[in-house]
Structures are given as structure tokens and as C-alpha cells.
Amino acid sequence: MLWSGRDGVCYHRTVAFTESAARRLETIGFRSTAPRRAVLKAIEGAPGPFTVEDLLGELPGVGRATVFRTIKLLQELDLLCRVPLEDGSVRYQLSEGTHHHHLVCRSCGRFTEFADLELDRRIQEQAAQHGFHLQGHSLELYGLCSACGAAGVA
């Protein structure tokens, strides 16, 4: 892998992600083809949050459609988080596998994950009060992480 390292980015490295993700994909009917495994391996090896373009750059022999499709499936399985940044770009990183939200540091780019069942319950209540058929939600909080805040980064 040619991934260039990025300092200071917190990253949850899941052991044998490729194997477990390939099995999960097979349970929903997606065979573990060589290109698909290459995508999983590249994701497993990523040094930090990555863009689709980063991933495509790592996988010159794999078609764009395969990369996009695999990312979408992994998101649906809660194996990959999709984190929109304020500039409109999107980063991905391995997920801990359950629903959660993100604290996004504007300075170092670190994502911190948090889960809050009470907050999720309130979101469902809001949707119900509006007669809205809720199918999912994501929540990102933007600011400075504790390290950057303490270092006085503006």
C-alpha cells in the first residue's frame, strides 16, 4: 500500500477487517471477488480518514463502479462511516459497527465518535411530531478537539 501517513489522526484499526467485511458482504449476497477484496484491503490499510479519490488512487486496477458500490455496501452494513466536512467534501473511516455520531476537529481533522441513545430517541420524537417518516440520520459536530483547543489553535 502506498498510503502516506498522516500524523495525529485517531484511527480505529480493526483486525482482519477484510475477512470480516467479506463475510458480511457475502451474507447479503455479494460474492468476495478479487476487486472487491482489493477495495477492502485498501480500506483496512488506510492510515486515517480517506476520500473516495484517495481510495481510487490506491487501486489503479479496480473500476470506479466497484469502489463506489463497495463503499456504499459497507456503509449500509455500518462497517464504514461517512463523515461530511464543512467544505462539502466527504471522508470515510472504519466504523465500530454500531450507530454513532462524530465530533470533527477543524484543526487536525480527527474524528471522535460518540453514541447517545437519549439523543437518538429525541431525534425520533422530532420526526414523529412532524409526521416525518424517518429512515436514518447522521450528526456531526464541528470544532476543536481537546488537544487542539488546549494548544490554542484558532
Burial class (CB in 10 A: 0-12, 13-18, 19+), 106: middle
* C-alpha–C-alpha distance, residues 120 and 93, integer Å: 22
List 81, 92, 94, 104, residue binding Zn ion (CB under 5 A): 81
Site string for Zn ion, 91-130 (x = CB under 5 A): --------------x-xx-x--x------x----------
Do 39 and 72 form a contact (C-beta atoms < 8 A)? no
Q: Given the complex with Zn ion, which of 56 and 108 has the nearer CB atom?
A: 108
- Phi, psi dihedral angles at 110 (to 5 degrees): -70, 140
Q: Given the complex with Zn ion, which of 38 and 144 has the nearer CB atom?
A: 144
Residues in touch with Zn ion (CB under 5 A): 81, 105, 107-108, 110, 113, 120, 145, 148
